[in-house]
Amino acid sequence: MKTALQHTDRPSDVGKTMESLQDNNTQLNIAITGESGSGKSTFVNALRELSDDDEGAAPTGVTETTSEATPYPHPNYPNVTFWDLPGIGTTKFPADKYLELVGFEKFDFFIIISAVRFRENDVKLAQEIQKMEKKFYFVRSKIDNDLRAEERSQREFKVEKTLSQIRQVCIQGLTGSSIKTPQVFLVSSFQLHQYDFPLLHKALESGLPEVKRDALLLATPKQIHIREARVTPCNRPERV
Ligand SMILES: Nc1nc2c(ncn2[C@@H]2O[C@H](COP(=O)(O)OP(=O)(O)OP(=O)(O)O)[C@@H](O)[C@H]2O)c(=O)[nH]1
Ligand SMILES: [Mg+2]
């Protein structure tokens, strides 16, 4: 039945799956994965509407921080669990052992967090998820840093142009590695009302079963105005 959910796109199909989900109280495990330092733990905290130093927040840091897959149950809806994974490609979690070490196959849905540059390990993770016939969102994090750096170095700096360049690199990197219809979101975990964070929430909401969708909507950080954004078929954010 989880498999049915992962292959479901049409609202009517989601409806059918949701009925059975409600009946048997199925858990949904969402893994937050990506390279070390890409901002996974910070992103989990943002999703849970916590600051990094709040009690119960995932530890974050400038050096390698998360050393085991750690569950963070949704505060209002225990059936949805966010798993903060260690980073791929460190000496403790080398890329060739990572999937096995973190138990990659046990998760139902994935969010790959990538910062600064599009990397080989991003592709590896995406391909593995596709091979398992599961779904993922690709999150390009720390967008605030990129914009600040561009603004400093470019005389003709334009926010939308820079965002578009970053988005294209991610989409091309994924499609060029045989990933079908990747969904890419540009976020800053420190600026939840900006860039694609509202779109990401909206996408999570429509992609999960109804009962869980309601819970995720409840969890939406208050400063996010989901109605201000929508996902277009080509996944280019469009303000409405
Ligand atoms: N400017 C900016 N910094 C961020 C953002 N997200 C995370 N960071 C910073 O990036 C550093 C690493 O963040 P973490 O969330 O600990 O990264 P991680 O991917 O969990 O790292 P590991 O647990 O070592 O794999 C921290 O100093 C964060 O404050 C963001 O959106 N913008
Ligand atoms: Mg971490």
Q: Give the CA distances from residue 126 to residues 36, 134, 171, 184, in Å, rounded to whole numbers and listed in that order.
A: 16, 10, 12, 12
Place of tokens 């949704």: 74
* Largest separation between any pair of C-alpha atoms in the chain: 58
Q: How far apart are CA 70 and CA 86, in angstroms?
A: 9
Residues with CB under 6 A from ligand 1: 36-42, 60-62, 64-66, 86-87, 141-142, 144-145, 188-190
Which residues, other chains included, contact 90 with Cβ-Cβ below 8 Å and sequence gap of 6+? 36, 64
Q: How far apart are CA 196 and CA 182, in angstroms?
A: 15
Q: What is the pLDDT of residue 201?
A: 83
Give the distance (Å) from ligand 2 centre to CA of residue 106: 19
pLDDT tens string, the chain, 240 residues long: the values are 444 444 444 444 444 443 444 445 678 889 999 999 999 999 999 999 899 999 999 999 988 899 999 999 876 667 889 999 999 999 999 999 999 999 999 998 899 999 999 999 999 999 999 999 888 999 999 999 999 999 999 888 999 999 999 999 999 999 999 999 999 999 999 999 999 999 998 887 777 664 355 445 444 454 444 434 444 434 444 433
Mean pLDDT, the chain, whole residue set: 81
Q: How far apart are CA 183 and CA 212, in angstroms?
A: 20
Ligand 1 test: best mutation among 52, 54, 60, most atoms within 8 Å of CB? 60
Q: How far apart are CA 143 and CA 139, in angstroms?
A: 10
Give the distance (Å) from ligand 1 centre to CA of residue 52: 10
Q: What is the pLDDT of residue 209?
A: 61
Give the distance (Å) from ligand 1 centre to CA of residue 42: 5
Q: Which ligand is nearest to the CA of 191?
A: 1
pLDDT in tens, 101-150: 999 999 988 999 999 999 999 999 999 999 998 889 999 999 999 999 99
Give the distance (Å) from ligand 2 centre to CA of residue 70: 9
Residue nearest to atom 32 of ligand 1 (CA): 142
Q: Which amino acid is at 196?
A: D
Contact 41, 50 (CB under 8 A): no
Ligand 1 test: best mutation among 42, 52, 193, most atoms within 8 Å of CB? 42
Q: How far apart are CA 135 and CA 204, in angstroms?
A: 11
- Domains of the chain, start order: 2-239 (3.40.50.300)
